[in-house]
Chain A
Amino acid sequence: MSTDVVAGNGNQNLKLPIYMDNHATTRTDPRVLEEMLPYFSDTFGNAASRNHEFGWVAEQGVEQARESIAKLIGANTKEVIFTSGATESDNLAIKGVAEMYREKGNHIITQATEHKAVLDTCKRLEKYGFRVTYLPVQKDGRIDLEDLKRAMDDKTILVTIMTANNEIGVLQPIREIGALCHERGVLFHTDAVQAVGKVPFNVIQNNVDLASISAHKFYGPKGVGALYVRRKNPRVQLVAQIDGGGHERGMRSGTLNVPGIVGLGKAAAIATEDMAEEGKRLGALRDRLKDKIMSQLDEVYINGSMEHRLPNNLNISFAYVEGESLLMGINDIAVSSGSACTSATLEPSYVLKALGAGDDLAHSSIRFGIGRFNTEAEVDYVAQRVIETVNRLRELSPLYEMAKEGIDLTKVQWAAEPTH
């Protein structure tokens, strides 16, 4: 990728393009990469080789990583199962529990703004005779605990609700959800992908039985993740979804991705060390971005709760401006949009729709994900570019003109039927 250097605010030089899409993925931390490299060369062994030095060294790397993950989330090392990433972890947790506890019940509870790895797994189980309740979310993006209580019945075996949302960064009340599940003898799985390494996440305090983790969301490599599986109070059992050599206590066969796992471990060790301070720094940058944008533009709306939110997330709708055209205007900045035009399905974000804000605001949304390598000068540049581009596109927007004329856009008889 070509990079240009421009003068930023405060005489600092900015390198373009700026990456601010850290919910999609993060750059591998150089310290993580350094830790991984030997496992591609000198110490390339298979962690399952029990009878020579190469295997022992690889196994040692894996076990060290397991300890780092366990420490980060307050688990025991035996409770950490390595996978290829959070999609696999979600599949293993949900399908593995469904198959194991089928005799006990066939009801699963989840919620509307889950990642597709959870929603589509649940949909698959519906085809096999499971009953799934999809709880709605409130305007702030959080579920209502009363809804959850009402949805639980004597056939409920699993509740799967994410810790933090990948689009709006909203934190669900997982401690309360976990407590409720434990009270009723129901297992609780959480997709903790966006939360782990960003905000404190402890499986004991939060009453979590299964948790999905992905390395590349917190400065580790892609293609590796973990599933936390509780060993006592209660002891969770899973039916493996991949058959083979019986690796990972029989729950996930397949030769371990040793360099990846070592990278995941190092990312976890860094997070354990730096998370508290980094959270504060990213929160301050996020608020700076928000304040700059909101002080200079009218009719911008924050999607989801600001109170219960990841410190590095900002999701804003810019009324009367379509998201993809905004992305096009700020093409030296990498962010994403909930606009239909940016998705393969031509549907606007189902997460934003679930908040009930209306499809028009979903089309106008931008997600900013601030990360470890972003600077204050970058935030200032991004704010400036967004403000300029929104102003330019509003000059081009018939909706903005109509709104300024005092026309209530919700009362207009639009000529086009929704065609998709």
Chain B
Amino acid sequence: MAYSDKVLDHYTNPRNVGSLDKNNPEVGTGLVGAPECGDVMKLQIKVNPKTSIIEDAKFKTFGCGSAIASSSLATEWVKGKTVDEALQIKNTEIVKELSLPPVKIHCSVLAEDAIRAAIGDWKKKQGQEKSAPVVQHANVARQA
């Protein structure tokens, strides 16, 4: 399969690789996917409690190049956004930005899920879980 230049760029120079302290109350952690499916993404955000702005984001991904690129891009996009703005990020935007082919759409879905799961975890820590839309599993039916 030929990869788009942007996928290759994120694969070769992934942004924001690493981990934040998952016990920090300002950090939200999303872990989505499963090893037997071939994709696991861990996405973490550090949120300023006063402004709700995501000040830092880190990821680690087990998955194909498109999965790595989708999660790398997701960390870039969430940084500087408020959590509510970050919740607006759609998998279809990731598909478009990275020119993902149809067989790789699930990678973008997983990245969107990772963002939502990280925000959900953060909200839970903040005692706001009622409003947290934690996505439990990837829905491959979502379309580009």
Which A residues form the contact surface with B (CB < 8 A)?
Answer: 320-322, 324-325, 328-329, 339-341, 346, 348, 358-360, 363, 395-401, 409, 414-420
Contact = CB atoms under 8 A, between A and B. Distances in A.
B32 interface: yes
B74 interface: no
- The size bracket of the interface on B is 35 or more
A360 B35 contact: yes
B110 to A, nearest CB: 8
B34 to A, nearest CB: 4
A419 B14 contact: no
A325 B65 contact: yes
Contacts of B61: 396-398
Nearest to A329: B11
A395 B17 contact: yes
B38 A399 contact: no
B64 A399 contact: no
B123 interface: no
B84 interface: no
B77 interface: no
B62 A415 contact: no
A417 B39 CA distance: 11
Interface string B125-144: 00000000000111110000
B19 interface: yes
B36 to A, nearest CB: 4
B36 A322 contact: no
B35 A399 contact: yes
Contacts of B117: 415
A398 B19 CA distance: 9
24 contacts: A325-B11, A325-B64, A328-B3, A340-B37, A341-B63, A359-B36, A359-B38, A360-B35, A363-B36, A363-B38, A396-B17, A396-B60, A396-B62, A397-B60, A398-B40, A409-B35, A415-B31, A415-B32, A415-B136, A416-B32, A416-B113, A418-B34, A419-B106, A420-B106
